[in-house]
Amino acid sequence: MSLFLQNLVNALQWGSFYALIALGYSMVYSILMLFNFAHGDIFMVGAYIGVGVAAVLLAASAEGALALPPWAILVLTILLAMVLTSFVGMLVERIGYRPLRGAPRASAAITGLMIGIILETGNLALLGAQRIRFPSLIDTTVYEVAGVFITNTKIIIVVVALLLAAGMHFFVHKTKWGLAMRAMAFDYVAVPLMGVSVNGIAALTFALGSALAAAAGILYALAYPVLDPYMGIVFGWKAFVAAILGGRVSVMGATLAGFLLGFIEIFVAMIFPSTLRDLIAYSIVLLILIVRPHGFFGEPYSARLRL
Amino acid sequence: MPFLEVEHVTHQFGGLRAVHDYNLAIEPGHIRGLIGPNGAGKTTIFNLITGIYNPTEGNVRLDGTRINGLAPHRIASMGIGRTFQNLLLWRHMNVLDHVKMAHFSRIRYGLLGAVLGTPRRHREEREIEDKARTLLEMLDIGHLAGQAVTNLPYGAQRRVEMARALATEPKLLLLDEPTAGMNPDELVQIMEIIRRVHRELNLAIFLIEHRMRFVMELCERIQTLVFGEVIAEGTPEEIQNDPKVIEAYLGSGNE
């Protein structure tokens, strides 16, 4: 029983990363019909920007220029990295996708792949091949509850992920920009007639998705502090699976599917040798998709009108 | 002075000339019609006016200001509303959301206001909702406000689209085949609604139609477009009796 609960806690943490990355994937895909395959690399960029921001804050703190407690440095690191990474996301949209808006879907899809490679190798060129350590911002405390070990890091990760997902849900369903995003998920032609700039909403979508990926990157680095330029690739693929599984224009769907993926992976690893984890886990996901090709929530992907 | 002026507009897709030397002037408050066989370029003209296409030659002026080359959202906020031949609604969004969306550029509260629920936000939301409901009542669809548009009958969907266009508070409304797919009952209703909207909101209307009786009854002046060129322009009587129109259009088995 305590083994089960321990794995449940681990799955919640693991699913948090998938959920946050899946949200960005899902929004860009639902609203702009783009496979932004660079999104996993935005996660990586976010983690690296987080390293930079944290280093600056820590240095300022050590010099006495900023008297900040550790938790404040962590919060500031997350927020600043989200803002900075959102600019990277907008840049990707502006350079890589906007010029190709009328182009065939396949062209836009390979754009994502190319931007991904550019971000990975750009990082390599800039910082070299050695791995980088994320500074430890807070001391790890371990709590034991009924035989289950829970670290403060795990709690932070899950709580921050849930708060951000809830914030995104609020944004998409309760603000005028969210309304415009949901409308753009159906067409680009009637939306501008409401006085809404399609380019503006596209940039906003990329900015939000990238900010969430950055948050995921830093949370991931809190748990696994060694970063390398290719850390986003497999994460990106899996989060994309979660995004599609969640269903179209559904913040809740993408979040739940992210957590579901985390659960499946962790529990498969609990039962089977960990080398078989992804083989079995993704066979299960494939079966789910065959039964529910439109995902769990939201509008079916087919039968859309695009002019 | 005309509210909308289209001067010598020509538009080509690749080598194909879709519209040739097209001219139009609409005075404030007038209803004008555009008829012509399928593929004549009628919808292309709407797309040229609303900025979806940029004319190869010629100019489009709104209130004296040149608007060709501007982005569609800019042109829309300058006072042109539009509906589409094949309904461009946001399926699964409800009727009220459609009309609210039209107020996008007029909603002033920021993200902070949205999160905190400031008094300003509540006031703006209430005003927008009131306006939206008034408009829905005018189109006899007030009772459908909370419904998802996918669940509505075709005639009601057309009215939602018209309500959405009107909510942007246009001075000129472009209607692309407002009666397409409607049964005779719905047809009578939509004609009554267009008259009501025209009277109460005092706007200019430019409409594309296939049903001759409908155009003849509503429009003060009508243009006939064939292969991208206007072959006749005049009052409904003049158009009805023009031999070129009869040959190109009326004689081809339409009503």
Please tell me the predicted confidence (pLDDT) of residue B212.
81
* Residue of A171, A174, A189 with shortest CB distance to B88: A189
The pLDDT confidence band at residue A153, using thresholds 50, 70 and 90, is very high
Beta carbons of A198 and B73 less than 8 Å apart = yes
DSSP A238-259: HHHHHHHHH-BT-HHHHHHHHH
**Does this complex have an ipTM over 0.90?**
no
pTM for this one? Answer: 0.87
pLDDT: is B107 or B78 the higher one?
A: B78
Mean pLDDT taken over chain A: 90
Cβ count within 10 A of residue A64: 7
Q: Are B45 and B229 in contact (CB under 8 A)?
A: no
Span A181-230, pLDDT tens digits:
989 988 888 899 888 999 999 999 999 999 999 999 999 999 999 999 99
Chain A contact for B115 (CB, 8 A cutoff): yes
* Residue of A170, A189, A195 with shortest CB distance to B168: A195
Chain B contact for A98 (CB, 8 A cutoff): no
**Among B131, B72, B124, which Cα is nearest to B99's?**
B131
Residue from B44, B74, B91, B99 whose CB has the most chain A CBs within 10 Å, to mutate? B91
- 3-state SS, one letter per residue, for B216-248: HHHCCEEEEEECCEEEEEECHHHHHHCHHHHHH
**Domains of chain B by start residue, with CATH:** 24-90+153-252 (3.40.50.300)
Q: With residue B116 as reference, give the H or E element that holds it.
A: helix B111-116
- By C-alpha distance, the chain A residue nearest B169 is A194
Residue B214 is encoded by which pair of tokens?
A: 């409908």
Beta carbons of A299 and B115 less than 8 Å apart = no
* Residue of A197, A299, A305 with shortest CB distance to B73: A197
Which amino acid is it at A22? A
Determine the average pLDDT of the residues in B48-55. Answer: 93
pLDDT greater than 90 at residue A291: no
Beta carbons of B164 and A170 less than 8 Å apart = no
Span A19-51, pLDDT tens digits:
999 999 999 988 888 889 999 999 999 999 999
Please tell me the predicted confidence (pLDDT) of residue A145.
86
The pLDDT confidence band at residue A307, using thresholds 50, 70 and 90, is very low
Q: In what order do the strands lie in the sheet with B31-35?
A: B80-82, B172-176, B204-208, B31-35, B221-226, B229-234
Q: Are A93 and A202 in contact (CB under 8 A)?
A: yes
- By C-alpha distance, the chain A residue nearest B166 is A194
Give how far A185 is from chain B: nearest CA, Å. 8
- By C-alpha distance, the chain A residue nearest B104 is A176
- What is the C-alpha separation between B73 and B87, in angstroms, rounded? 18
Give how far A1 is from chain B: nearest CA, Å. 41
Please tell me the predicted confidence (pLDDT) of residue B250.
56
Q: Which chain A residues have a beta carbon less than 8 Å from that of B51?
A: 192
* Residue of B82, B100, B164 with shortest CB distance to A179: B100
DSSP A284-301: HHHHHHHH-TT-SSSB-S
**Which letter does DSSP use for residue B66 in this model?**
E
**Letter string b/e over residues A21-48, b meaning 16 or more CB atoms within 10 A of that residue's CB:** bbbbbbbbbbbbbbbbbbbbbbbbbbbb
**Among A71, A54, A52, which Cα is nearest to A141's?**
A71
pLDDT greater than 60 at residue B252: no
Please tell me the predicted confidence (pLDDT) of residue A106.
84
Chain B contact for A190 (CB, 8 A cutoff): yes
Determine the average pLDDT of the residues in A266-294. Answer: 89
Q: Are A137 and A77 in contact (CB under 8 A)?
A: yes
Chain A contact for B85 (CB, 8 A cutoff): no
**Domains of chain A by start residue, with CATH:** 2-291 (1.10.3470)
Q: Bridge partners of B31?
A: B205
Beta carbons of B114 and A175 less than 8 Å apart = yes
- A-to-B residue pairs, Cβ atoms closer than 8 angstroms: 80
Give how far B74 is from chain A: nearest CA, Å. 6
**Among B93, B51, B85, which Cα is nearest to B69's?**
B51
**Most trustworthy range by pLDDT among A159-168, A240-249, B195-204:** A159-168
Chain B contact for A195 (CB, 8 A cutoff): yes
The pLDDT confidence band at residue A238, using thresholds 50, 70 and 90, is very high
Give how far B49 is from chain A: nearest CA, Å. 12
Please tell me the predicted confidence (pLDDT) of residue B90.
87
Please tell me the predicted confidence (pLDDT) of residue A305.
39
Q: Which chain B residues have a beta carbon less than 8 Å from that of A196?
A: 73, 101, 104-105
Lowest mean pLDDT among A238-247, B8-17, B91-100, B241-250: B241-250
Q: Which chain A residues have a beta carbon less than 8 Å from that of B105?
A: 194-196
Residue A83 is encoded by which pair of tokens?
A: 């803002």
Determine the average pLDDT of the residues in B223-238. Answer: 91
Give how far A164 is from chain B: nearest CA, Å. 13
Report the phi/psi class of residue B60: left, alpha or beta, with left for phi > 0 and alpha for psi in -120 to 50.
beta
The pLDDT confidence band at residue B183, using thresholds 50, 70 and 90, is confident
Identify the sign of the CA torsion B194, B199, B203, B207.
positive
Please tell me the predicted confidence (pLDDT) of residue A304.
45
Span B58-105, pLDDT tens digits:
999 999 999 998 999 999 989 999 999 888 888 878 999 999 888 887
Environment class of B118 (CB within 10 Å of its CB; exposed 0-12, middle 13-18, buried 19+) = middle
The pLDDT confidence band at residue A306, using thresholds 50, 70 and 90, is very low
pLDDT greater than 70 at residue A283: yes
Q: Are B103 and B163 in contact (CB under 8 A)?
A: no
Beta carbons of B168 and A194 less than 8 Å apart = yes
Please tell me the predicted confidence (pLDDT) of residue A302.
44
Q: Are B66 and B59 in contact (CB under 8 A)?
A: yes
- What is the C-alpha separation between A173 and A222, in angstroms, rounded? 31
